[in-house]
């Protein structure tokens, strides 16, 4: 079983600091003001405790704007692209080999997650999606890794996890998963060859 993070490994981060700054500049919104609201509500949105509408109402549309929620969200989605030097090609190669159960273990809000999974063909490549919006938990909380093990029903040492953030890799390793920090497609390919996965 191989679990991939999505943002920073397969795709760009959907709504991280850079993406937010780009959107705020485009719509002429105050960065500091937005960030304060974002930090207060993003955790709940990624856990699916609040909807996209509630998140946008709290962060952007608490006062009248010259643009709509649909326009703002559509711009948010344009920030999702294949990660430069990312692992999408490696994931496709693993899926074509038919040797492994493949899945996602990622932090993402429901609406952006479903767009990214569909738009970039990830639903066809993954057999399981352990996304924060479906789990109600976020990495690097220990509970999300334990819940993933419960759902998968496999020994932790039989699961390989790939993520670009050190704290998320450490969280997976702490429950016994084999964990690789993603530092580019070439380095990952070499590590997977060393492990005789590729």
CA distance 186 to 152: 28
**Residue-level pLDDT at 11:** 98
In terms of DSSP H, where are the helices of the chain?
Answer: 17-26, 31-46, 52-59, 69-78, 88-97, 110-119, 122-125, 132-135, 142-152, 166-174, 185-194
Q: Report the alpha-carbon angle 136-46-63, nearest 5.
A: 135
Q: What is the pLDDT of residue 183?
A: 98
Residue 52 CA: distances (Å) to CA of 41, 73, 74, 196: 10, 9, 12, 42
* CB contact set of 191 (below 8 Å; sequence gap of 6+): 180
* pLDDT tens by residue, 93-114: 999 999 999 999 999 999 999 9
Mean pLDDT, the chain, integer: 97
pLDDT digits (tens, 9 = 90+) for 52-97: 999 999 999 999 999 999 999 999 999 999 999 999 999 999 999 9
Per residue, the 3-state secondary structure of 78-123, as one string, reads HCCCECCCCCHHHHHHHHHHCCCCEEECCCCCHHHHHHHHHHCCHH
How confident is the model over 20-46, as pLDDT tens digits?
A: 999 999 999 999 999 999 999 999 999
* Residue whose entry in the numeric block shows the structure tokens 């969280």: 171
Which of the 8 DSSP states describes residue 10?
T
pTM of this structure: 0.95
pLDDT at res. 7: 97
Instruction: Give all domains of the chain, ordered by start, each with its CATH number.
Output: 2-12+82-194 (3.40.50.1000), 17-78 (1.10.150.240)
Q: What is the pLDDT of residue 181?
A: 98
Tokens of 187: 């380095």
Question: Would you state the pLDDT for residue 41?
Answer: 98
Please write the tens of the pLDDT for every residue from 120-176: 999 999 999 999 999 999 999 999 999 999 999 999 999 999 999 999 999 999 999
> Cα(26)–Cα(111) distance, rounded to whole angstroms?
21
Determine the pLDDT at residue 103.
Answer: 98
């Amino acid at each position: 079983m191989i679990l991939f993070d999505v943002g920073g490994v397969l795709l760009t981060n959907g709504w991280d600091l850079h993406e937010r700054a780009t959107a705020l500049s485009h719509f002429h919104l105050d960065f500091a003001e937005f960030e304060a609201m974002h930090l207060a509500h993003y955790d709940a949105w990624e856990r699916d405790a609040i909807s996209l509408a509630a998140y946008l109402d709290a962060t952007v549309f608490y006062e009248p704007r010259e643009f709509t929620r649909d326009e703002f969200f559509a711009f948010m989605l344009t920030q999702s692209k294949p990660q430069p030097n990312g692992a999408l090609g490696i994931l496709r190669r693993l899926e074509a080999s038919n040797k492994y159960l493949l899945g996602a273990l990622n932090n993402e809000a429901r609406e952006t997650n479903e767009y990214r999974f569909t738009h970039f063909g990830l639903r066809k490549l993954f057999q399981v999606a352990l996304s924060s919006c479906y789990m109600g938990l976020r990495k690097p909380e220990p509970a999300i890794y334990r819940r993933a093990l419960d759902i998968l029903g496999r020994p932790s040492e039989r699961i390989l996890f790939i993520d670009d953030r050190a704290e998320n890799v450490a969280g997976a390793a702490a429950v016994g998963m084999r964990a690789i920090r993603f530092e580019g497609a070439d380095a990952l390919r070499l590590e997977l060859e060393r492990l005789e996965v590729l």
